[in-house]
Structure 1
Amino acid sequence: MAKSFENLFHIDLGDFYHTYLELRNRKTNRTKFLDALRDSLIKKMDDQEEK
Structure 2
Amino acid sequence: ARFRMVGAHLNFEIRVTPFNFTSGQLIKPLEKSTWMSNDNTDVTDPNGNDR
Normalised by the length of structure 2, the TM-score is: 0.27
Q: Which has the larger radius of gyration?
A: 2
* Larger relative contact order, structure 1 or 2 (CA cutoff 8 Å, min sep 6): 2
